[in-house]
Structure 1
Amino acid sequence: MPHRPLARALAALVALSTAALGALLAPGTAQAAAALNYVALGDSYSSGVGAGPYDPSTCLRSQKSYAPLWAAANAVTSFTFPACGGAVTSDVINNQVGALSTSTTLVTITIGGNDAGFADVITSCRFGSTSSCTNAVNESKAFATTTLPGRLDATYAAIRNRAPNARLIVLGYPRLFETGSCGLLAMSTYKRTILNEAADVLATVISGRAAAAGATFADTRPYFAGHGVCAADPWIRDVSGVIEAYHPDADGYRYGYLPALNAVTG
């Protein structure tokens, strides 16, 4: 008889715990907790230029880019893909953030390279003299450290304004080149070296502004190490295609960008 009150108390505690667990696992609650509404913004390194094949739009979006690959692997609730080849920060603000809402829970973006004159710098170095390459790289680095930070801040703020409940992940750009022997028709080691140094400056700037915005920065450079142009197994295209030149190929997005994104999403 003395043990019955204790037994009744234990039974009541078990019943209460079971009810609480049931409430946590109720279908509506579980579905709400699992909702993953993903929007992928950015430029050609987000849209998948270099991977192909592309959708009918002028944005050169490929399902082999890192964003659709991640979405497919993580069974997202919704996936929206307004990233567009050639985009600069103002394009994201004016044409892409409209895809965001208060229900958006994840945003990824790669942006800033075109603002810093990526295409012009590469062209100067690939087809111009050493001095023209050096000048172009120095101008791009100066822009990246003086003007680009404000543009990135405005872009991240626009994203936060439209998607206040979302996690923002900013993915950087890889170094494009290996600096070893690369044949007679390749860019010189010097040109490839200063282009990689410019990529490092860009990564530093983007990482710093992402941190200031409370975003997560995913550095892609370690994942592409040993797979740049001039590597035995390159994941970056050379001048094989005018539009696709110096962009990741399908392996670059799958084995370079996707693991970088996975490393910060868990």
Structure 2
Amino acid sequence: MAESTAVAAESDRPRSRRGRGLAVAIAGLGLIAAAIAGPAGPASAAATKWTPPQQLQYAAVGDSFAAGTGARPYADKACSRSALAYPKLLTLDLRIKLAAFPACSGADIPATLAQVNTLPSGLGAISVGVGGQDVGFVAVMYSCFVVPDPAVCPALIAAGAAGAQTPEFAAGIDAVILAAKAKAPKVVLTGYPLLFHENGAGVNPKYQYADEVNDATVILNDALEARALANGIVFVDVEDDFAGHGIGSSRPWINDFFALLPTDGFHPNAFGYAAYAKAVRPSLAP
């Protein structure tokens, strides 16, 4: 497993969700590329000499959701870093070059700050995905869903939600953002999906604490958005993009826990990372 109290679901109850609309499932890399890169040019362009596009030098830092954990195979097993991670998918647009990709499963705020400090100069944009590990993602997933413990789980959820609203958490996120802004003129902070599908009654039939974790994730996303706004950068919220595709839905974009592949559990699959790429791409547009 990896991190972030990130948790996704479709809920009929009102939540703090921003309206970018439901992302559609993408059936193949060709369609993903088209969605990310945008429409083709006029037919007459085929007759002209092709020249390489000017490329945005882009870097991606952060935790397992930035690294692509959950979408095997992993190019880097130590960090569970995937070729299907959204930073990699963004390079299907030839105008984007992934110049550095140190995002790593398990990265908290200090680790992400260290990643930023390793980035090269001359970058045009950086995406940052961090915060979940700092509010107890691993502990919550284990004690609420892998080996449910009613004596521990509710307290962990409450502590995570409270932690996301502390001055210390805000200061840590600010430090990462400011370090990234010193490296690139454009910085994008990404949020987390709600991991669990909720039925019309607002519950997940399999997991008792799914709705509580979804609610805590909304609080986390709101805290991240507040830091992005305070620091003058873009926040990419993916709650609506994943709506209807949480664990327990008919078409999940989140992996359920599977004992033989424990790292993958409670992280997006390839469809989920395609949705992330589609959501992030407009914020990187020249």
Answer whether TM exceeds 0.5 for this pair.
yes
Question: Would the aligned equivalents of 2:103 and 2:115 in 1 still touch at CA under 8 Å?
Answer: no
Deviations 1:99-140 (A, max 9, x none): 142x11010111010011111011121122445221111000
Q: Residues 38 and 178 (structure 1 numbering): CA distance in 2 closer, same or farther, change over 3 Å?
A: same
Q: Whose relative contact order is higher, 1 or 2, with alpha carbons under 8 Å and at least 6 apart?
A: 2
- 1:216 to 2:234 alignment: yes
Residue in 2 that maps onto 1:155:
176
Instruction: State the AA in 2 paired with 1:75.
Output: R
Structure 1: runs of 5 or more not aligned: 1-29
Instruction: State the AA in 2 paired with 1:124.
Output: S
Instruction: State the AA in 2 paired with 1:151.
Output: G
Q: Distance in 2 between matches of 1:44 and 1:176?
A: 14
Question: Larger Rg: 1 or 2?
Answer: 1
Correspondent of 1:43 among 63, 86, 90: 63
Q: TM-score, normalised by structure 2?
A: 0.75
- 1:175 to 2:194 alignment: yes
Residue in 1 that maps onto 2:124:
105
Deviations 1:192-239 (A, max 9, x none): 111000110000000110111111000011110000000011010111
Q: Distance in 1 between matches of 2:262 and 2:152?
A: 20
**Displacement, 1:75?**
3.0
Deviations 1:166-196 (A, max 9, x none): 200111000010122755xx212xx111100
Higher mean Cα deviation, 211-220 or 70-79? 70-79
Q: Distance in 1 between matches of 2:98 and 2:69?
A: 23
Q: Distance in 2 between matches of 1:177 and 1:171?
A: 19
Q: Distance in 2 between matches of 1:117 and 1:110?
A: 15
Residue in 1 that maps onto 2:138:
119
Number of aligned pairs? 228
Question: Would the aligned equivalents of 2:196 and 2:204 in 1 still touch at CA under 8 Å?
Answer: no
Q: Distance in 2 between matches of 1:144 and 1:67?
A: 25
- 1:79 to 2:90 alignment: no
Q: Distance in 1 between matches of 2:249 and 2:214?
A: 14
Correspondent of 1:204 among 222, 228, 243: 222
Question: Would the aligned equivalents of 1:71 and 1:79 in 2 still touch at CA under 8 Å?
Answer: no
Q: TM-score, normalised by structure 1?
A: 0.80
- Secondary structure of the 1:39 match is strand
- 1:66 to 2:90 alignment: no
Structure 2: runs of 5 or more not aligned: 1-50
**Displacement, 1:88?**
0.7
